[in-house]
């Protein structure tokens, strides 16, 4: 299944020995890609049936026709559309915030530990610009793909880690051999300094992430209450909420 929400467990470096953890456990999965236009909420997939589902002002289109809905289901579809539109900007902000915190943390580590902070920051800036371009393709006001978002952030961090680690090792050895006590002291306090710098952002991100999870759970709940059935009796099953304990057992 394709993950359209967030199994949010964001672990951010805070120095060499400590991390600031944002742990919001929710996982809403779907077989469908998800997009929004001015008029419609659209679900599509390459395999399985139905392949295309469109919601538009309380109406429902399945594959090749508009289907007949009860008054109650029409209201549920309209509610789903409203909630889905509220999810998109929030999901986008969560992704952007996560990227910002990750690169702020890496930048602080580079500045505090590195032997050549300017060179490492230039590498970080280059990776961040590429990440911003990648995120623009995976998260927008009308489209959200959490797999692509997570992969983009992971690739960007992976790109700079060899340079960052090499610079940190070089800087630490240089400080030790030269007896640079000021730098050694700064390195000792790096965990606390970085944690203090990013904690307000991390707290804000955790609040947004929890809100996003709640909204996705609302979508799943609306989906589950639809009376409409496909020709073979199946439900639409647009989203499926995976409780954390079930996911852990499955993994």
Total residues found in the chain within this entry: 251
Tell me if the pTM is above 0.85: no
Per-residue pLDDT of the chain (251 residues; tens, 9 = 90+): 333 333 333 333 333 333 445 555 666 778 888 888 889 999 998 888 999 999 999 999 999 999 999 999 999 999 999 999 888 888 778 877 877 777 777 776 666 666 667 777 777 787 778 777 777 766 665 555 556 666 776 777 677 666 666 666 666 666 666 766 666 666 666 667 677 777 888 888 888 888 888 888 899 999 999 999 999 999 998 988 766 554 444 44
Pairwise CA distance, residues 111 & 165, whole Å: 12
Q: Where are the domains of the chain?
A: 2-31+87-235+242-246
Pairwise CA distance, residues 201 & 195, whole Å: 10
Please, where are the H alpha helices in the chain?
A: 71-113, 117-138, 146-178, 181-188, 190-225, 244-250
230's tokens? 């496909």
Token pair 């929710």 is found at: 26
Q: Do 228 and 67 contact (CB within 8 A), yes or no?
A: yes
């Amino acid at each position: 299944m394709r993950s359209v929400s967030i199994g949010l467990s964001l672990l951010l470096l805070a120095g060499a020995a400590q991390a600031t953890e944002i742990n919001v456990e929710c996982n809403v999965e779907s077989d469908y890609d998800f997009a929004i236009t001015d008029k419609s909420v659209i679900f599509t997939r390459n395999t399985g049936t139905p392949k295309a589902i469109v919601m538009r002002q309380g109406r429902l289109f399945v594959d090749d026709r508009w289907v007949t809905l009860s008054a109650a289901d029409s209201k549920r579809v309209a509610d789903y559309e409203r909630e889905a539109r509220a999810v998109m900007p929030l999901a986008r902000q969560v992704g952007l915030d996560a990227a910002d915190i990750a690169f702020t943390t890496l930048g602080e580590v580079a500045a505090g530990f590195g032997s050549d902070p300017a060179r490492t920051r230039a590498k970080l800036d280059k990776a961040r610009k590429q990440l911003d371009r990648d995120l623009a393709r995976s998260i927008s006001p009308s489209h959200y793909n959490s797999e692509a978002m997570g992969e983009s952030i992971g690739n960007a961090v992976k790109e700079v880690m060899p340079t960052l680690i090499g610079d940190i090792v070089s800087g630490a050895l240089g400080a030790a051999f030269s007896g640079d006590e000021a730098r050694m002291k700064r390195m000792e306090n790096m965990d606390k300094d970085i944690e203090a710098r990013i904690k307000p952002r991390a707290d804000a991100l955790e609040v947004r992430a929890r809100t996003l999870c709640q909204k996705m759970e609302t979508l799943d709940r609306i989906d589950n209450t639809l009376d409409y059935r496909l020709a073979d009796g199946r439900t639409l099953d647009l989203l499926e909420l995976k409780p954390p304990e079930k996911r852990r057992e499955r993994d």
